Amino acid sequence: MTQDNPFGQVLVALVTPMTADGEVDWPGVEKHIDDVISAGADGIVVTGTTGETSTLTDPEKIRLVEVGKDVAAGRAKIITGGGSNETAHAIELYKHSEQVGADGIMIVTPYYNKPTQAGILTHFRLVADATDLPVILYDIPGRTGVPITYETILRLAKHPNILAIKDAKGDFSEVSRVLNQTDLMYFSGADENILPHLAIGATGLIGVTANIAPAPYRVIVDAVNRGDLAAATAAHRQLEPLVRAVMTHVPGTVAAKYILHGLGRIGSPRVRLPLVGPEEWEAALIEDEIDHVTGVPGVDFRNFRPDRNAAAGGALPKVAGTTR
């Protein structure tokens, strides 16, 4: 059965721009969302891993959905990510996100608790039951400590609200099995694997590097859609050094903000503790990779002016009250 896609195909795992003292830079958020949509994104995931969901307050998470909807103005879908490793808290967050206009939700496997597959199954089902929004499952065992097994994915695929999965495991044989056995849409959640995932039937991507360069991902997806593997491969190879710069040496959030700030596209590279900006040697490695980036549409590194001092350290949130 072919189903409509309510999420888009080129989804940006959005960074949350912040001021130098660690406050959310709301004008910067608006500008960045508009920039990536104008460059070809048709979906935005706010408050995900890349958006620093673990150190955002609940009010900030809800406001990010509101701002995203306002800026997108129908040009792109706004998906809220993150959730919680406490099922009741996750339900509360997603219900509130639905009330303020989210187009979909992305539910991460409960982290730190290390639940059994029965616990994972129950968590996802209860959250999906609590909303009328379409759901993307987020499978990233490197961060959560536990995978969603193939058998659990098959059971979850029967839920009417669960329409897709974001895969950050990189198990291509499992991707094919799930695509053969379910109607789930697959979204690549590993920037280096986006073209291979698309080539075996994935629907789209939820990318970190797309914060910096959405346009070539639009090229790749559109080329795959029309069966032009040569054009998709050329864009993929062009992007490879940039993906390496973003995803190899420090957490993707840190590298993406460092690069976006160096390009003058966000006002500060600041991240919230326990994340910190790249150390001198890490920044040097990122810049070495950038030296190999040429011809990527929408990115001109001739104007790259990184500020290692601005990126150093971290900042505590300055929002009054609880952070949860």
Catalytic residue among 61, 69, 138, 186, which?
A: 138
CB 36 within 8 A of CB 210: yes
CA distance 40 to 297: 11
Q: Which of 87, 85, 187, 210 has its CA nearest to residue 137?
A: 187
Q: Report angle CA 285, 288, 293 to the nearest 5 degrees.
A: 130
- The β-bridge partners of 140 are none
Q: Find the helix packing angle between 117-129 and 87-99, rounded to 10°.
A: 30
Q: Which among 224, 282, 252, 291 has a CA at the least distance from the CA of 12?
A: 252
CA distance 36 to 105: 20
Bridge partners for 204 per DSSP: 187
- Active-site annotation holder among 61, 69, 77, 166: 166
Stated length of the chain: 324
Does the active-site annotation cover 258? no
* Bind-site residues for pyruvate: 50, 206
Beta strands in 101-153 (DSSP E): 104-108, 135-139
Tokens describing residue 147: 């995978």
According to DSSP, residue 119 is labeled H
Say if CB 317 and CB 289 are below 8 A apart.
no
Residue 95: active-site member: no
Nearest Cα to 164, choosing from 195, 191, 138, 127?
138
Residue 126 makes CB contacts below 8 A (sequence gap 6+) with: 87, 91
How far apart CA 42 and CA 203 sit, in angstroms, is: 13
Which residues belong to the annotated binding site?
50, 206
Instruction: Name the token pair of 175.
Output: 């991707």
Active site residues: 138, 166
